[in-house]
Amino acid sequence: MDSPAPPEKVVVLLKATGDAPILKQSKFKVLKSESFVFISEFLRKNLKIDSVFLYLNSSFSPSLDELIGTLHEAYNVDGKLIVNYSTTPAWG
Amino acid sequence: MEGTKPTTSQAADVQREHWRGAVALKLELHPDEVTTVPPPAPLFVLAPRLGYLPQVAQQALEHFGSVLPPGENEIWFEYQGVPLKWHIPTGSLFDLLSEGDGQYPWCLTVHFRSYPRNILQQVTGDSMQASYFNSLKESAYVLTGSSNSVMSLTKKSQQELWQNVLQSQDVEFFANMQKMDLAKPTRSRIPIRVYHREKVFDSFTGWKSIDYLSKSFDIDAEKDELTARHLFRDCLKSHSEEELGKVKLVVAGVELSLDVNVGDMYSHLKNADNWLYLVLKPATS
């Protein structure tokens, strides 16, 4: 079986919610093997904020050790993993 | 469970037992946090399987509070040097980490200081409740394609449901699920979390050596007979038939055959957050 290797990266779309600062670029390709914590660290560094709250599809927060590849497979919308970020809790 | 479907009353019995299940804990305060001689006696306490470890915080604080050094109390638990992730239901933590049939009650070290923030989610105020509802939202998304049913619950409904979970009231819980319209899957996908410990405890090196997978599985489409074996073949790619012979599957404290139907397991043994938690560990452990 020599089926082509699946792409190693998936598209992640970062959307600001509430008062969160907006990123210059919102679409990224992220390695499937990265954990979700990668996104939160990326945002904290780029937005220079201490804490960030993350949600998928404007609803739930996955655990930070979840793999991007797994999340993308389960929750992508039109091929994109939509991550909403906020500086205060949203969608309690 | 194999072959024959359980009757309704058997199913109700299983559900009740599943909800009543508890893990007996023996808690000892970490020596660094003991300020008295002799040190305080251990605390024996029952922790509900479907609940979360910090549920015993109040009891632990009453027992150990008077000997603690000054400072703020932030409870966390440790087993064999490994900080326990409290957002995993207590029963599944025990199934995953405890060593075979050896030690019971489960001996844990309890801490109130030096919270390992880099490893564990913080427990503040109602974070147990928040963690539960977040998990419920995620499972609702898998079951119905949207989390709206959970997000539109009123504060009062949330409180009611959460109290049912804390007090292991299965009858009230399922009645509330029905009433709050949370019990209707609209697609044939089910949410499953798999925790896989590859090593026996001697060589266990903490969370890094545990595979974790949270996935939604299609139980319909010609897979009427989807068994745990199929599921692990699918999701644990490195697992040959031979390797699958070396693991045991533990669900809700019970060792089950890899040939049990996944849909059946889901109907009877899912947790209060609508996830089915499967634990795989070495057959020898």
Q: pLDDT averaged over chain B?
A: 87
At A9 the pLDDT is 94
- What is the pLDDT averaged over residues B2-13? 74
- Sheet strand arrangement including A53-56: A27-31, A9-16, A80-86, A53-56
Determine contact, residues B228/B278, Cβ cutoff 8 Å: yes
Determine contact, residues B214/B198, Cβ cutoff 8 Å: no
A34: contact with B, CB 8 A cutoff = no
The total number of structural domains that make up chain A: 1
For residue A3, being part of any structural domain is answered with no
- What is the pLDDT averaged over residues B40-56? 96
Q: Which domain holds residue A43?
A: 9-86
Q: Do A57 and B141 touch (CB under 8 A)?
A: yes
Map residue B245 onto helix, strand or coil: coil
For residue A92, being part of any structural domain is answered with no
Q: Do B147 and A60 touch (CB under 8 A)?
A: yes
- What is the pLDDT averaged over residues A7-13? 89
Q: Where are the domains of chain B?
A: 16-111, 127-179, 187-282
Do domains B16-111 and B187-282 share one topology? The answer is: yes
* In chain B, residues 21-80 whose CB comes closer than 8 Å to chain A: none
How do residues A53-85 score in pLDDT, each as one tens digit? 999 988 899 888 888 998 998 899 999 999 999
Cα distances (Å, whole numbers) of residue B129 to A3, A30, A55, B23, B71: 45, 31, 17, 20, 25
* pLDDT for B86 beyond 80: yes
The hierarchical CATH code for the domain B127-179 is 1.10.246
Query: Tokens in use for B146?
Result: 């949207």
Angle at B231 between CA B90 and CA B17, to 5 degrees: 35
Determine contact, residues B77/B84, Cβ cutoff 8 Å: yes
On chain B, the residues whose CB falls within 8 A of the CB of A41 are none
The hierarchical CATH code for the domain B16-111 is 3.10.20.620
State the ipTM, two decimals: 0.75
For residue A31, being part of any structural domain is answered with yes
On chain B, the residues whose CB falls within 8 A of the CB of A61 are 134
Determine contact, residues B236/B211, Cβ cutoff 8 Å: yes
- What's the CATH code of the domain at A68? 3.10.20.90
Q: Do B141 and A59 touch (CB under 8 A)?
A: yes
At B2 the pLDDT is 46
Map residue B60 onto helix, strand or coil: helix
For residue A13, being part of any structural domain is answered with yes
Assign domain B187-282 one CATH number from 3.40.50.970, 3.30.420.270, 3.50.50.60, 3.10.20.90: 3.10.20.90
At A7 the pLDDT is 61
Label residue A54 exposed, middle or buried (CB < 10 Å: 0-12, 13-18, 19+). buried
Determine contact, residues B285/B200, Cβ cutoff 8 Å: yes
Contacts of A31 (CB under 8 A, 6+ apart): A8, A9, A68
Give the closest of B142, B147, B215 to A70, CB-based: B215
* pLDDT for B191 beyond 90: yes
Q: Among A3-17, A35-49, B142-156, B158-172, whose mean pLDDT is lowest?
A: A3-17
At B189 the pLDDT is 87
For residue A91, being part of any structural domain is answered with no
Nearest chain B alpha carbon to A37: B118
- At B173, the pLDDT band (50, 70, 90 cuts) reads very high
